Amino acid sequence: MAIDTTSTQVKVRRLSVRIGAELSEISLRDASDNQIGAVRAALLAHRVVFFRRQGLSAREQIEFARRLGPLTQGHPTLPVVDGEELILDLDSLAGGAANHWHTDVTFVDRPPMFSILRAMILPEIGGDTIGPTLWPPTPTYRRTCAGWRRPARRAFERSRLRPSDVVALRAKIGAVRLANLAAFVAEVFETEHPVVRIHPETQERALLLGGFAHRLVGHNFAESVDLIRMLQSYVTRPENTVRWTWEEGDVAIWDNRSTQHYAIFDYGEERRRMQRVTTSGTPIQGLDGRPSVALQGDSTLYNLIE
């Protein structure tokens, strides 16, 4: 997707062939409407975009995010921090180390559209974020997946969050201090999603998987684990990913409709603190037109559009 950098005054530098771009010559604090349009265009073209040293406050982050769309609550289960219900505080000292591949909040029927992440406190070494595409459009990938592409088009998977997942989450997250874990899994959520979804703006196909996916409908547990692992392995191949080394004040935005991400927990006892704001998602639709269906848990308040 072409971006007119002459009129928008936004510089776009691709970070890999398949995903990711760094945007510069823009201040998110006072971006023009044309620049916001360029950010949205870059998100659709590159799926994840990064901005160096923006130095936003929490309120400025919220106001910028609101220009990309109406906002959700910070999280369906985690507590509010500093009285701000629109922000999710990801502090490694409080257990906010999501050391696994995931798309944000896929255990509800309408996961957020965009996630806007701001770096506040960073470890001296480590703490990078990796993000891949979900349906790499390459001839090699199409040949490799030929045997499973047709069944995947019709398949549905179930994503969940529940108290009995504590042990699995502890192993995935890998954090020593998990003060928020009990709150994180206090309420049961389960949603049935199409494995292949249609991106509502680009019409591209994307696999809807990640760390909350636990079972394929019509398959037993063992089969589900094997098939999900196989599909995930295509998504997370190194050639499909981009890696960002954070600096204080950096901002990242990713399109949850076409990405997963992984915040690497490789910084030991040091502190890593980020804050995330999310824009409201829209109903998910599979290739056959069937939508996602919430099976358990009330996400009405989380899905409420401002």
Catalytic residues: 102, 104, 261, 276
Give Cα 65 to chain centroid, integer Å.
15
Q: Which two tokens stand for residue 272?
A: 């890593």
Q: Dihedral of CA 276/122/128/179: which sign?
A: negative
Longest dimension (CA), the chain: 55
Q: What is the CA radius of gyration of the chain?
A: 18
| Sign (positive or negative) of CA dihedral 250, 59, 266, 184 | negative
- Name every residue whose Cβ is closer than 8 Å to that of residue 163 and which is 6 or more positions away in sequence: 185, 186, 188
> Which candidate, 83, 88, 57, 54, places its Cα nearest to that of 71?
88
- Helix-, strand-, coil-residue percentages of the chain, each rounded to 5: 25, 25, 45
In whole angstroms, what separates CA 297 from the centre of its chain?
20
Number of Cβ within 10 Å of residue 100's Cβ equals: 19
Residues 6+ apart with CB under 8 A from 98: 90, 173, 262, 263
Q: Which residues of 186-204 are buried (b: 16+ CB within 10 A; e: fewer)?
A: ebbbbbbbbbbbbbeeeeb
CA-CA-CA-CA dihedral for 164, 167, 169, 175, to nearest 10:
140
User: What does residue 101 show for φ and ψ, rounded to 5 degrees?
Assistant: -70, 135
